[in-house]
Structure 1
Amino acid sequence: MGLKRYWDLLTIIALSIILDLLIFYASDSLARKALGLAFVLFFPGYVFITALFPNRPELDNLERLALSFGLSIAVVPLIGLGLNYTPWGIRLIPILVSLTAFNIVFSLIAIHRRTGAFEPWIPWITLEQVKRELEWDESSKLDRALTVILIIAIITSIGTLGYVVTHPKQGEAFTEFYILGPEGIADNYPTELRVGQNGTVIIGIVNHEHRNVTYHVQIWLVNLTWDNTTNTTIIHGMYPMPGWFNVTLPSVPVNIEGNWTPQFETNYTFSIEEPGKWQVWFLLFKDDEPELPPAPADGNYAETPAKDLILEAINGTVQSLKLNVEVKP
C-alpha cells in the first residue's frame, strides 16, 4: 500500500504547513479561513485519537469522528493555557507554531503506531461504509428520518460556523489620537517653557473607523480654574493657536501582532507669549468641523459659545488631548 496507508496523516501534515504559508502570504484568503477551521477544530483531535487507537476494532468511524472534534476543542485551549505561562504568550505566531508542531508530532506517532498495528484503521469512505456505520438497512423509517435530520443539523451547523468565520462582525470603530514628546516617545513633553520659547510635540492619528475619515484638529491655548464653591470650570482665556490642520485617512485594521506602527504623525511647534499656567488643548473632530463665532477683538474666545468646546473636551464628549505648560518670564 505504500504511502496510501498513511494518506490521512500525511495530508494533515501537508495542510498544516500550507495553512502556515497562507497566513503569512495570503492572510485574507477564503482558503485560510476554511483550512483554519479544520486546523483548530479537527486536526489536533484526529491525530491524537489515531495515535492512541491505531487498530480498527478499538473505535468505529463515528466514534473517531466525534472524538476528533471533541478532543480538538479540549486540546487547543490547553495549548493556549500553556502558552499563557511562557514569554511568548497567546499570540498568533506562538499558537500557530504550537498547533503545527502538535499536529506533526502526533501524526508521526500515529504513523509509527499504525505501522505496528495488527488491523490498522485506515479511513476510506464509501457510500456502503456510511450505510453500514449508520446501520441504514436495519433501521426503521423513523430511525432513518432521525438520522437524516441529524446529518442535516450537523451540515447546517458547520455551514453556519463557516459563514460566521468568513463574515466576521466588524470590530469597534474608534480613532487613536495621541501626542508624543519631541523624541517620539511618551516622555519629555515641553511642560516648562519661558516666554517666547518654542516647544515641540508630535501629534498622531490612527483611523480604525472602518471607513475613510477627514479629521480636523484644533489647537487652543487655555487658562482656566476650578471653582470649588459652584463645582464648575471657569475659563479665563481661550485663544486659537496657529497650526490647525485637517487630514483624510483610510481605515486601517487593529494590529495586535508585532510592533505597533503609526499611520499619521506631524510635528507641532508652539510658543506662548504670556507667563502663567496654561493648557494647550488639541481637539479632534471627524468629518465636520464645528463653526466658530466671530473672533473677538482681543482674540479671547472665553466669553463666546466656543468655550463649550473646551467644556465638552473636559467632559469627554469631544475627543481631545491636553498639555499642561508652565510659562516663566
Structure 2
Amino acid sequence: MGSSDGSAPEGSRSLVGAVSADLIVVVALLGVGIATVLTPTLRIEPVQTLIGLLYVSFVPGYVLSLVLFPAADGAVDEGNEPRDATETSPSGSDRPGETGIESISALKRLGFAAGASFVLVAVVGTAVSLTSIGEQVPTTILVVSVVTLVVIPVALRRRAELPPAARFRVSLRTVPSTASSALFRSDSRADLALTLLFVTMLLLAAGSVGYAVTAPKEKGTFSEFYLLTTNQTGDLVADDYPTEFVAGEPRPIVVGIGNQEYEPVTYTVIVELQNVRLENNRTVVLERERLQQFSPTVSHNDTWLQYHQIEPEMTGTRLRLTYLLYRDAPPATPTTENAYRDLRLWINVSAPQGTNANALSAPQQANTNAVRPVAAPR
C-alpha cells in the first residue's frame, strides 16, 4: 500500500535500497556471458574460457550466498541478536533468527561461492551433455546465467527484509581494504589455513585458464571429410553414391568438411578421376583427370558443404574418383599418400551411345575443369 504522503511504498524503497555494487557487477557479468553465447562473433575459445571460469569459480555461488546469508558479518552476534537492538525486521520482530537472518565472514562467503558454483556448473554441464540440447560450453553458460538471473530477485528480497545496518553490502571503494582484511588479518589458525587454501585455489584456477587459453591444442584436433548425396526428399545422406557415369554427362554429389582444429583453416580440396592398377602390393596411378579444386576457409566448429557435378571424360571400369584434402596449399603432385584426408569412390564411366569408346579412353585436356558448382536443393 502507498503512504499517505504519496511517496513510493516502503517495500519498493527497500528493494531499491538493497541494490549494491556487487549485484550490479554480477548482472553485468551475466550480460557478458549471455552475449557471448548469443553473438557468433564472440563465441571464440579464449572468451568462452574466461567467461566459463567466472561462472565455475564465483558468480552463481555468490548469488546463492546472498540468498542464504543476507546479513553482513558481525550483524548477528552469538545470541542471534542484531548489534543494533533498536532496529527491527519488516515483520516487526527484533530477533533476526525468526526471519532467517544468517551471516558469515567475507572469506567463508568467497569459499561458499566457489564451492556452490562448481557444483551448480557441474550439474548443469552434465545435464546438457546427457540431453544433447546444444553445444556443451555455450549451453551451460546460458542455462547457468538464466538460473542466476532468476535467483537475483530472491537475494534482493532477502536483503531488503533486514535493517539497513545489518545488510551485507559491497562498495567498490572498500573492496581492496575488505579483501586485504579478510585474506591477511585472520584471527585464528583455522582462518589462516582457510585463507591459504582459498588463495591456492585461485592460483590453480588462474593457471588452468592461462594454459587453456595459450597452450596449443594439438591433441584431439581433427577435420571431418565426407561425401553426401541427396535422397528423394532432398535430405543429405551418406548413401546411394553414383557409380555409373556416362562421359560428358554430369551427376551431382556433395563434399563436406567439418573443422575441429580449434582455429580457422583454409583447406584445399582436389577432385581427380584416376585409372589405377595394383603392382607389387602398391597402387599405381596410370592416368589422372583433374576435375575440380576448391579452397574454402572454415572456422572452428563450423561445416562447409559444396554441391557440385561430376562430369568425367575418361572412360573405363573401376576408375577411382578421388577427393584429396589439404590444409593450406597442396603440393605440386597431389597424391593419397601426401593428402591430409582422402575419399575414394569406385565408378564406371562408359562412352556415350554412338561414340567410339577408344577416342575417350585418355584424359581430355580441354575439359580439366568440367565440374561446376550448383545451387543447394531447397
Q: Normalising by the residue count of structure 1, what TM-score does the alignment of the two structures yield? A: 0.67
Equivalent of residue 238 in structure 1, options 286, 296, 319? 286
Question: Is 2:249–2:311's contact at 8 Å kept on the other side of the alignment?
Answer: no
1:12 and 2:64 matched: no
Question: Is 2:67–2:155's contact at 8 Å kept on the other side of the alignment?
Answer: yes
Distance 1:87 1:32 in 2: 19
Change (3 A) 1:184 1:279: farther
1:71 and 2:71 matched: no
Identity of aligned residues (%): 18
Note the aligned Cα RMSD (angstroms). 4.4
* Residue 95 of structure 1: how far off its partner (Å): 2.1
* Residue 103 of structure 1: how far off its partner (Å): 0.8
Question: Is 2:320–2:344's contact at 8 Å kept on the other side of the alignment?
Answer: yes
Question: Is 2:273–2:291's contact at 8 Å kept on the other side of the alignment?
Answer: no
1:136 and 2:166 matched: no
Report the count of equivalent residues.
294
Structure 2 runs not aligned, ≥5 long: 1-12, 77-102, 352-378
| SS of corresponding position for 1:238 | strand
Distance 1:12 1:242 in 2: 58
Change (3 A) 1:270 1:205: farther
Q: String of CA shifts for 1:239-266, please: whole Å, max 9, x gaps.
A: 2124254x555463223xxxx443x665
Structure 1 runs not aligned, ≥5 long: 293-308
Residue 56 of structure 2 is matched in structure 1 by: 40
Q: Which aligned pairs between 1:83-232 and structure 2 lie closer than 5 A?
A: 83-86=128-131, 88-89=133-134, 91-117=136-162, 119-124=166-171, 125=174, 129-130=178-179, 133=182, 136=185, 153=200, 156-157=203-204, 159-164=206-211, 166-167=213-214, 169-170=216-217, 174-181=222-229, 185=236, 186-193=238-245, 198-204=250-256, 210=263, 215=268, 217=270, 219-222=272-275, 224=277, 232=281
Q: Normalising by the residue count of structure 2, what TM-score does the alignment of the two structures yield? A: 0.60
| SS of corresponding position for 1:243 | strand
Question: Is 1:10–1:107's contact at 8 Å kept on the other side of the alignment?
Answer: no
| SS of corresponding position for 1:64 | helix
